[in-house]
Amino acid sequence: MDLFESTAPIYHVTDTQHELEAGTDSDAMMSEASTCQTMSTLGSSEVTEYFQDRFGYTYMIDENVPTVFPTDSLAERLDVLLHMIIRHCQGGKTIPAPGHELLAQGGLNCNGSRVLDLPTNSGTWVQEMAETYPSTDFVSADVKPLAPHLPHPRIKYEVYDLYAGISEPDASFDLVHARICVTLTKNYKFLMQEMHRVLKPGGLLIISEIPNQAYEVDNPSEPLRSSPLRTKAIALMRSGLTSQGIDLGSWDKMSDRLSPGHPMWGNANPDTKKETYAAVRGFHSVTTFTHFIPNGPWPADRDQRALGALAKILFKYTWKSLLPTMQMMGVPQPEAQAFVDKLLEEVEDPKYRSYAKYKLWCARKI
């Protein structure tokens, strides 16, 4: 099944009015991306309540939230850029075909639908969706107030400790949308169980991730080895994530964990064909989608070249954030700075090519 072939409307990426090529100015691009939303900044009292300074970068105070990337004004713009990249990967669509079909018919009962969005971040996805599906109500939750959002009568924004559970009733959503959530929590299995709990029977779960790994262009099934500094940087970042309790195995084991046969669901007999079907926990009709993301504008294909130009900007700022991560791991600042500087030189060198992977899972709650 092609998750992006249907009568669903296509939303072309028109955030930039010209094709992005190798000479794209990343700073200008980030400024352009920042204008996609009209948002004010947080007040000083809110900043001190949620955030702290670590090595000159802003992070969440809550120790239960992994310190993966800095949470500052740039993070909002990077999330808009990430949204553009994911939409590129999805053929210009904001949501895969099963999600569009469900919402277009008015939800499971055809009388209006409810969608849970995790996490809010810049709010770009949920605002776009609310404009597209007028019979749908949205709840968008996050562990941090990245920025105030434009009010919308059908969007409810919430900020709380998601790692302790989703503050919504059982079986209350037709669709749950979870984007880049593996690194949001130290207990992703529990978050999956919570997403299952709040979905209605037959409800749709959409998970999208860009795993922290790169792959060889000639053999995309092989982890990157031909770019020495990026290979080391990826290992450092993965080590830092693992040391904080992030379950990196979630990316490779997602389909298995969605299955009712996985131990995390506690099903004694996960046979969905028997009369005990209603008592079985987990998901069925699991479908997956993978799209290769080039690390720069080098592909011959026009769409992939534009995607690579966007991705190069995102990856550049991602690698810049490795500096405080290395310092948190005990690396002296001069040594960490020297490594990051050399890493960025390699990132800018067009001879070093690789792929990242955008992965998407769609599954129905049993």
As a whole number, mean pLDDT of residues 127-150 equals 94
User: How many distinct helices (H) and strands (E) make up the chain?
Assistant: 11, 9
Give the pLDDT of residue 22.
44
Question: What percent of the residues of the chain are helix, what percent strand, and what percent coil, each to the nearest 5?
Answer: 40, 20, 40
pLDDT tens track for 287-319: 999 999 999 999 999 999 999 999 999 999 999
Distance, CA of 360 to CA of 243 (rounded, Å):
26
Pairing of strands 113-118, 283-294: unpaired
Q: At residue 29, does pLDDT exceed 70?
A: no
pTM comes to 0.87
Q: How far is CA 144 from CA 9, 47, 127, 268, 282, in A?
A: 32, 10, 18, 38, 29
Distance, CA of 177 to CA of 199 (rounded, Å):
11
Domain annotation for the chain: domains and CATH numbers: 26-213+250-293+354-365 (3.40.50.150)
Distance, CA of 8 to CA of 95 (rounded, Å):
9
4-8, 11-15, 266-270, range with the lowest pLDDT: 11-15
Give the pLDDT of residue 16.
35
Share of the chain above pLDDT 90, in %: 75
Looking at mean pLDDT, say which of 6-20, 39-53, 140-154 comes out highest. 140-154
Give the pLDDT of residue 39.
32
15-29, 241-255, 271-285, range with the lowest pLDDT: 15-29
Could you tell me the pLDDT band of residue 273, with boundaries at 50, 70 and 90? low
C-beta neighbour count of 193 within 10 angstroms: 18
Looking at mean pLDDT, say which of 20-24, 69-73, 88-92, 272-276 comes out highest. 88-92
DSSP character for 264? G
73-82, 113-122, 252-261, range with the lowest pLDDT: 73-82
At position 360, the amino acid (one-letter code) is L
Distance, CA of 34 to CA of 32 (rounded, Å):
5
Q: Quick one: which of 162, 160, 153, 85 has its CA closest to 124?
A: 85
As a whole number, mean pLDDT of residues 8-21 equals 36
